[in-house]
Structure 1
Amino acid sequence: MSRKIKKSDAEWRAALTPMQYHVMREKGTERAFSGEYWNRWEDGTYTCASCGAPLFRSEHKYDAGCGWPSFWTAAEAQNVETADDHSHFMHRTEVLCHQCGAHLGHVFEDGPQPTGLRYCINSASIHLDADGEKDPSGETREER
């Protein structure tokens, strides 16, 4: 897969926290109920913690009871891709950031309607860009 954002391993290590690197580059996971966003409900867009691509919206988030942020759809389908994952002696569908290839989590077919999907995402792989939050220019996202 051709990526828009390519960095060396050393560049990723320098740009990410140890937990983010483990999750996003080594396909790790954080413990259930331990991540920053599993039980936060502010309005906004969840972006890739590696490259800033918009991935999920708060209005698509729901409490799946699994201990990780869960979404029933992606904010922009072209920014999220999937791949078969046969690790841990099971078959799952891995979720990746299309722009940088970061591991985000997994998607399951046990979510709510209208999609029936549950994107189970590691908090370490996302950042909440809260609605109304000012960027460095002093503008809110809505003003841009």
Structure 2
Amino acid sequence: MTAVAATAPSLFGTGFTARRVDAARMRTVGGVLDALAQTWDFPAHFGRNRDALDDCMRDLPTGLHTPEGAPSSGWLTIIENASQLLADEPDALKWFAESIDFWRDSYRNSHDDARFAVLLLDDAPAVVRERWAELGVRVTDPTEEI
């Protein structure tokens, strides 16, 4: 699931473990690789390429807990300032959107009841929605699915 909002909803009781990253650091593919590696604490052998990103994002740490202390049943990446995401390499946004779907489907297929989602936060959520819609990517409101 990919959602867009101006503010993050409460995650209490959702089962998600969340990590925040600023899209100001993700204006290029290299920035995306570095920011997600740091945010999710990828292993030292991370290859810093798209295939390695796929591998690491489909193998996020298990045994994590939600803010209220319950075992996590899902992973949520919150990308702040989402209008800046891949702004310097706009052609790569389609790749990133497809990657999110790939990661989500991987968790659905390989982990019992596990969920994966990305929440795009921005002061102008309509601008972000329009940018993703131009790619043919459906984004939701986080209250629909989180």
The answer to whether TM tops 0.5 is: no
**TM-score, with length taken from structure 1:** 0.26
Higher strand share: 1
**TM-score normalized by structure 2?**
0.26
Higher RCO (CA-CA < 8 Å; seq separation 6+) = 2
